Copies of this chain bind each other. A is one copy, B any other.
Amino acid sequence: MARSSLTAQLAAQILDHIRANDLPRGQHLPSQALADACRVSRAPINSAFKFLRNLGVVRFESNRGYFLAADANELAALKLLANEEGDEDDAYFEIAEDRLSGKLPAQVTESELMRLYRLPRSRLVRILSKIAQEGWIERLPGHGWEFRPTLTDRKSYEAGYRFRASIESAAVLEPGFRIDRDAFRAAREQQQALLEADLKKLSRARLFRINTELHETIVACSGNEFFLDALKRVNRLRRLIEYRVTVDRSRLNRQCREHLKILDLLEAGNVTAASAFLREHIEGANTLKSPGVEPLPGARRKKNPA
């Protein structure tokens, strides 16, 4: 189920919904209610239900609809099912990977990419637009696209850290900053769990996700969507790069403790201290990591003089 069909997405969303509301076994699940919650019509919801029925999550009764066949707790294990890496297109990651590893030159044409990744134009264009929006590719005025150094350049990597330090420390000082108690509690539990868990066993992807989620949760409390958007944008880029960075797992323990301290400071209402500490925390993370990212050749468009 790697493909990002609407059905799979919705199935995951339905599971989340069940867990979030802690629904009991046997609970009726009206299509329309779910449809409203997911902002689609009943059709794709029903399709997702069929999918979940095959998994034994829900039970079907003719003319009565779908009913929960297990309670919320029993579904915990299913979380990973369709969710890891979410709604992202596979080809997107392939392109990112190939660019980072240098397989893709700096300049490419659409048809070249269509051939390479066996994509229909529509999908490719959507992916390229997304990448352009993330800032690491650019449409040339004539034909073709050009990768920008953002992804592959060491300096950009560090610039991203400084940017994060700035906006995150500013975000907690926003006048509209209000702590989201539930989110904070969840974040705290997650960090605690991390401290106790075997850090060596967690995948990089998971570690990264937990880390960024914490930071984004904090910035979301600012009530200023511009800060949150900006942070999410940097993090989307980082997600691609951090895979190639050697994770210093010995630092993770300290990182968790710092995260908890930030939550403490914020909950104590000490936003000034939290702001300063956030900055330190982020800048510290940068200087200690050593990205294995080298500048890429970046082939010129025209023939090079030999």
Residues of A within 8 A of B (CB): 6, 9-10, 36, 38-41, 44, 125-126, 129-130, 132-133, 135, 140-142, 146, 150, 156, 159-160, 162-163, 166-167, 170, 174-176, 223-227, 229-230, 233-234, 301-302
Contacts and interface: CB of A to CB of B under 8 A. Distances in A.
Classify the secondary structure of A's interface with B: helix
Given A6-B142, A163-B230, A156 B40 contact: no
Nearest to A163: B226
Contacts of A129: 126, 129-130, 133
A150 to B, nearest CB: 7
B141 A39 contact: yes
A150 B170 CA distance: 20
B162 A224 contact: yes
B39 A229 contact: no
Given A6-B142, A142-B44, A170-B166, A160 B226 contact: yes
Given A129-B133, A166-B170, A174-B162, A39 B226 contact: no
A133 B62 CA distance: 44
